[in-house]
A and B are shown apart, each in its own frame.
Chain A
Amino acid sequence: MKQKVTLTGNEAVALAMKQLNPDVVAAYPITPATEIVQIFSTYVNDGLVDTEFVTVESEHSAMSATVAAASAGARAMTATSANGLALMWEIVYIAASNRLPIVMPLVNRALSGPINIHCDHSDAMGVRDSGWIQLWSENSQEAYDNTIQALRIAEHPKIQLPVMVCMDGFIISHAMENLEILPDQVVRDFIGSYTPQKTLFDLENPVTAGPLALTDSYFEFKRSQAEAMLQAKPHILEVAQDFAGVTGHEYGLFESYKLDDAEVGIVVLGSTAGTAKVVVDKLRAQGVKAGLLKPRVYRPFPAQELVQALGHLEALAVMDRADSFNAFAGPVFTDVAAAMYGNDVQTKIINYIYGLGGRDVGLEDIEKVYKHLTRIADTGEVDERLNYLGVRE
């Protein structure tokens, strides 16, 4: 049933979108996400999908049109990167606040300035508190699989939140990789048909979307929105279980790699996790008890589960492909450290900011991090909490 193909990340995600066959795609091109909607537009042109494709004048309009389509009860998608996402920002929050099950691939790229088109996570980290679910991908396979699962997660009756599918710009989006794809019909059976809970087109039950809510009700709506995120985890895992039933591909809230008996470990998102696994294997062969944790679901943040998986480590490095410029630490570090602290864990935790603007991260770089961790584990002392990896000193 499954077919092995060689595709770039963008091609794989465009194919997933074709198989999801959304009612509406509104998009504006931006490197490195452009190809996704460009390839998808050829599917529209060739009559391979039933999608209304809206070419808009900006990303602000792309997200606005997507929100409008979703409010009307359509399956609606868009895709973007970096500055495009930044221009959408106002409406990104509205998509989540209005509880619209939109799916958006985000091809991670550095925010300006200086202007740069290459990979880092500053775009996704900027909207980490916008109320979207964030799924992260290590490679094309995961980007493809996450995109398909994202629709089911977004439309889950207990969730009803938009989902962002993150993949590293160029490193995944433009690199050819082997992956397994599903037949169209299998994907369509997996997602099923969509009956929106509310739609502007239901003339028998007229509704207003996106109204004003002032001091006497705004807070209650936000609390209700927070609850959807608080309750989302088990439903995300239900979808993953169904997906594994169809594909054999197992997904959780995160992936643990040789972590159970590890003494030193790192937390890292996206493609760098692949690089780090090679380093873990090498260190293991040398007798170093190294492990790795790769978050897949970053929002909702799986705090309790992360503490369970990491709390036994002697030393942990949390890697951030974005800087918070807060004179403290990066965003993933801040989240992980807060979760660990609240649970009375003794693990020494440090932060590495790495790979900004597409700066390459090699095996030797990751090895340096593990060496640093081993030193901390040996001495029991954290010398530097905030570290920069691969920058010229």
Chain B
Amino acid sequence: MTTKSWRETVPGGWITEAGNALEYKTGDWRSEKPVFIPENCINCLFCWVFCPDDAILVEDGKMKGINYDYCKGCGICARECPTKKKALVMEDE
């Protein structure tokens, strides 16, 4: 949530600073959320590849969970998860 006065806005709404999507937490758009089940995960990182935001947390090449500040609940990760017993399943918020 920005608190800038109109006098401080960049004319025309141009974005002149990189990476400021981080300031905009889109997680509250979500009506369903992906739940990570670590024991089913094979660390293929398909979820990380397919996530249209930046909501899959990865450390040292391993899937670590979901960043719910940004996850909009689109469900792509759960759909693409290739294991027979899914490591990502969607639940209602």
Which residues on A are within 8 Å of B, measured CB to CB? 97-100, 160, 197-198, 205-211, 213, 216-217, 219-221, 223-225, 227-228
Docked Cα-Cα span, A97 to B11, in Å, equals 9
- Quick one: closest B residue to A226, CB to CB? B6
Which residues on B are within 8 Å of A, measured CB to CB? 1-2, 4-7, 9, 11-16, 18
Q: Interface centre among A97, A160, A225, by most B CB within 10 Å?
A: A225
The answer to whether B2 touches A216 (Cβ under 8 A) is yes
The answer to whether A211 touches B13 (Cβ under 8 A) is yes
7 tightest Cβ-Cβ pairs between the two chains A and B: A99-B12, A208-B15, A223-B6, A220-B6, A98-B12, A221-B13, A99-B11
Give min CB distance, A130 to chain B, whole Å. 14
The answer to whether A217 touches B2 (Cβ under 8 A) is yes
The answer to whether A216 touches B13 (Cβ under 8 A) is no
The answer to whether B11 touches A207 (Cβ under 8 A) is no
The answer to whether B12 touches A160 (Cβ under 8 A) is yes
- Quick one: closest A residue to B16, CB to CB? A207
A-B contact count (CB 8 A): 53
The answer to whether A210 touches B13 (Cβ under 8 A) is yes
Give min CB distance, A221 to chain B, whole Å. 5
Give min CB distance, A328 to chain B, whole Å. 32
**B9 neighbours in A (Cβ, 8 Å):** 217, 220-221, 224
- CB contact under 8 A between A224 and B1, given known A198-B16, A205-B16: no
Is chain B's binding surface mostly helix, strand, loop or mixed? loop
Q: Interface centre among B9, B11, B12, by most A CB within 10 Å?
A: B12
Give min CB distance, B90 to chain A, whole Å. 25
Docked Cα-Cα span, A205 to B15, in Å, equals 11
The answer to whether A221 touches B15 (Cβ under 8 A) is no
Docked Cα-Cα span, A100 to B11, in Å, equals 10
Docked Cα-Cα span, A208 to B13, in Å, equals 9
From the candidates A98, A206, A228, name the one contacting B13 in the complex (CB within 8 A): A98
Docked Cα-Cα span, A221 to B15, in Å, equals 12
**B1 neighbours in A (Cβ, 8 Å):** 216
Docked Cα-Cα span, A329 to B5, in Å, equals 37
Docked Cα-Cα span, A225 to B13, in Å, equals 10
Q: List 25 A-B contacts (CB under 8 A).
A: A97-B12, A98-B14, A100-B12, A160-B11, A198-B16, A207-B16, A208-B15, A209-B14, A210-B13, A216-B1, A216-B2, A217-B2, A217-B4, A217-B13, A220-B4, A220-B5, A220-B9, A221-B9, A221-B12, A223-B6, A224-B6, A224-B9, A225-B11, A227-B6, A228-B11
The answer to whether B4 touches A211 (Cβ under 8 A) is no
Given contacts A99-B12, A224-B7, A224-B9, list 10 more A-B pairs with CB under 8 A. A97-B12, A97-B13, A99-B14, A198-B12, A205-B16, A209-B12, A211-B14, A220-B5, A221-B9, A224-B11
**B18 neighbours in A (Cβ, 8 Å):** 206
Docked Cα-Cα span, A219 to B6, in Å, equals 8
Give min CB distance, A227 to chain B, whole Å. 8
- CB contact under 8 A between A221 and B6, given known A99-B11, A160-B11, A216-B1: yes
Docked Cα-Cα span, A24 to B52, in Å, equals 34
Docked Cα-Cα span, A219 to B13, in Å, equals 11
**B16 neighbours in A (Cβ, 8 Å):** 198, 205, 207
The answer to whether A207 touches B15 (Cβ under 8 A) is yes
**B6 neighbours in A (Cβ, 8 Å):** 219-221, 223-224, 227
**B2 neighbours in A (Cβ, 8 Å):** 216-217
Docked Cα-Cα span, A206 to B19, in Å, equals 11
**B4 neighbours in A (Cβ, 8 Å):** 217, 220
**A213 neighbours in B (Cβ, 8 Å):** 13
**A207 neighbours in B (Cβ, 8 Å):** 14-16
Give min CB distance, A297 to chain B, whole Å. 21
Give min CB distance, B1 to chain A, whole Å. 5
**A228 neighbours in B (Cβ, 8 Å):** 11
Give min CB distance, B64 to chain A, whole Å. 29
- Quick one: closest B residue to A198, CB to CB? B14
Give min CB distance, A321 to chain B, whole Å. 32
- Quick one: closest B residue to A220, CB to CB? B6
Give min CB distance, A186 to chain B, whole Å. 31
- Quick one: closest B residue to A218, CB to CB? B13
Docked Cα-Cα span, A209 to B16, in Å, equals 9
